[in-house]
Structure 1
């Protein structure tokens, strides 16, 4: 049985625990949080063993287990570093680190220790992303020429977010979310898909800004909107938007020579993937209004029920890592993948108004598809 341990028992930890119910061959060896009251509430709710310290949690993590770093982003580097120094495989919530200096240091340390280092999100391993990947490899839409990907979440500062609580009572960390920003928090949901299909991003041309002032919190706020144009080494031109301003839109459209592949729900592993063939009717060029549903022929992965805005299995990544450890093979959620996604995301987040074109210095190959998506 695969063993995971959890550091950080806040909002996102409950999402991982809900996903754990779909993996009967996985168990939690221990959980730890610096907030003793939150740790007790979380462990009592999920009936988990609580570690008394970080060292105690690392001791409870077997060499073939995976530590899940579910702490707030500002703590990611320190916690990831401590786990890697202890020789443990690490799966970190996004972002891997808040700076490229720290991200590179973690990448080098993982290599030095001979352990795996991965970063969320793992929806890239989900059915929707894998279905589009299969459709691209089969050329269903022809050669992809341009992609529009949207990650807009509505005018969040006006939402009733103080009432967003998980089943164990953890509040949505709105102060941290506004400080860290929607790009660092959300860009990976489609950026991970894109890198998995096409590999390395060569150039990022982006702009970012804070357009909603006076959000709840303290200190400088991160941009609440970003727009990026991505140029891949071997792929189409992509426009990616992230905001907590524009009306909710999580769609992706892949425009090819034959028509348009699409999906409308990045946060739903089982979201419909469709293809609209391009045609000419009475001299009018159009995409067919009768979209074809694209499906995979094999069973895929365990699903979770919708909770709030998402229906994502958060343990697909850690489970894949544990399989890779057991099979003595590289994990799809590689350290190279995590480092490259971090560099591209930070380039978008920090672009501001005048940065202009940024050449990426890291890279990774396209991700091997899941066995059921081949």
Structure 2
């Protein structure tokens, strides 16, 4: 089995102190497996603010200083997608493990360089989303593994919103290549589908680019127009290695939907899976011959979890084994999404070039208090 990555709490340095960092900091405070050592940002004042608010001896450093710091075991990469590969490669070159926000990189070519460099250096790469480790998706997975819906046949995954520019003060990166609804929100849904149904072998896609400009709706740039240079509505079919077919709809152009975030259909029933953008939520089952939906009891996953639990899971992973929120899984998810866009633009089915094993299931556990409550 080997030993965990570190015998002590995993010492983490954060690069990128933007909007998402607060969610990680909140959970780091309750995870015994993780200790925040330092933070860095291109805006030093922002880094100092985060360090001061967190306290506990956390230092505000430049990026170069953080990468060189001897008390940082893992770099948490919270930069914008276009910088994911650059920061990951620099961290790996410094001998650090890496855990990145999604996607792993802006392209599979960049992501491949990250994984190859990590393999050569002998360091671990993990990547968000870790939402699939929570009780929502994991309870749904256990229902599938326990045969409650029989043989899985198909799934649907739907995410529609009129656009992030309505609430995000700096939404530019959502509307350039490497952004868009598929690369922004798709990782949650595709990672959940792979967790539930296994890896994807081919895809068929279609996409549209309906507007060339968007108007920022909040913050100091309210009213400013930004260009749109990427697809803003993407749909397609994922063919899983198991034979199951998943239909995916990701849109920054639609207003609302009554559709479940994810449904999984089997020969004996259908599961309504909670929003994969969250860690918990009700999993509901409609059985063949039944008359109504039933809510399944929580039976698997990390209890009351949040962003950062993937890092705690990585810290507990024996040396030589893949963490559940692994770089390999994130690469496969990126490959699926990139292949879907390639298919949309070519009008042809595209085979994926990567494979990732379905991650090991998460038993019901509360790692914030280091107490396993079930199996």
Report 1:193-212 matches (<5 A): 193-212=192-211
CA distance in 1, matches of 2:262, 2:123: 34
Mapping of residues 58-137 of structure 1, within 5 Å: 58-60=67-69, 62=71, 65-137=73-145
* Aligned equivalent of 1:294, options 275, 293, 296: 296
Secondary structure, aligned partner of 1:187: helix
CA distance in 1, matches of 2:165, 2:10: 42
Aligned twin of 2:27: 19
CA 1:23–1:43: 2 relative to 1, 3 Å? same
- Supply the distance in 1 between the matched residues of 2:251 and 2:37 (Cα, whole angstroms): 37
Question: Which residue is equivalent to 2:333?
Answer: 341
Using a 3 Å threshold, how does the CA distance of structure 1 residues 136 and 61 change in structure 2: closer, same or farther?
A: farther
CA contact (8 A) 2:77 2:98 kept: yes
* Alignment pair present for 1:151 and 2:159: yes
Instruction: Tell me if the contact between 1:203 and 1:357 (Cα under 8 Å) persists in the aligned partners.
Output: yes
Match of 1:258 in 2: 268
Residue 277 of structure 1, CA deviation: 1.6
1:176 to 150, 157, 173: 173
3-state SS of paired residue (1:27): strand
Q: Is 1:357 matched with 2:349?
A: yes
- Which residue does the alignment assign to 1:44? 52
Could you tell me whether the CA contact under 8 Å between 2:342 and 2:350 is conserved in 1? no
Unaligned 5+ residue runs, structure 1?
Answer: 163-171, 280-286, 305-312
Residue 36 of structure 1: how far off its partner (Å): 1.5
Per the alignment, in what secondary structure is the counterpart of residue 35 of structure 2?
Answer: strand
Q: Residue 204 of structure 1 contacts residue 358 of structure 1 at CA under 8 Å; is this kept in 2?
A: yes
Aligned to 1:53: 62
1:201 to partner: Cα distance: 0.8
Tell me the equivalent position of 2:219: none
Structure-2 change in CA distance of 1:110 and 1:25 (3 Å): closer
Q: Give the deviation of 1:92 after TM superposition.
A: 0.7
The answer on whether the counterparts of 1:208 and 1:227 sit within 8 Å (CA) in structure 2 is: yes
Question: Paired residue for 1:308?
Answer: none
Distance 2:210 2:343 in 1: 14
- Of stretches 108-117 and 34-43 in structure 1, the one that deviates more from structure 2 is 34-43
| Cross-structure match for 1:215 | 214
Deviation at 1:218, TM superposition (A): 4.6
Q: Secondary structure at the match of 2:91?
A: helix
Aligned counterparts of 1:158 and 1:121: Cα–Cα separation in 2: 22
Decide which moves more: 239-248 or 208-217.
208-217
Secondary structure of 2:325's counterpart equals: coil
2:188 maps to 189
Deviation digits for residues 249-303 of structure 1 (CA, Å, limit 9, x no counterpart): 5611111111211124222322100101232xxxxxxx63x211112446x4242
CA RMSD of aligned residues (A): 2.2
Structure 2: segments with no counterpart, 5+ residues: 1-8, 216-224, 365-373
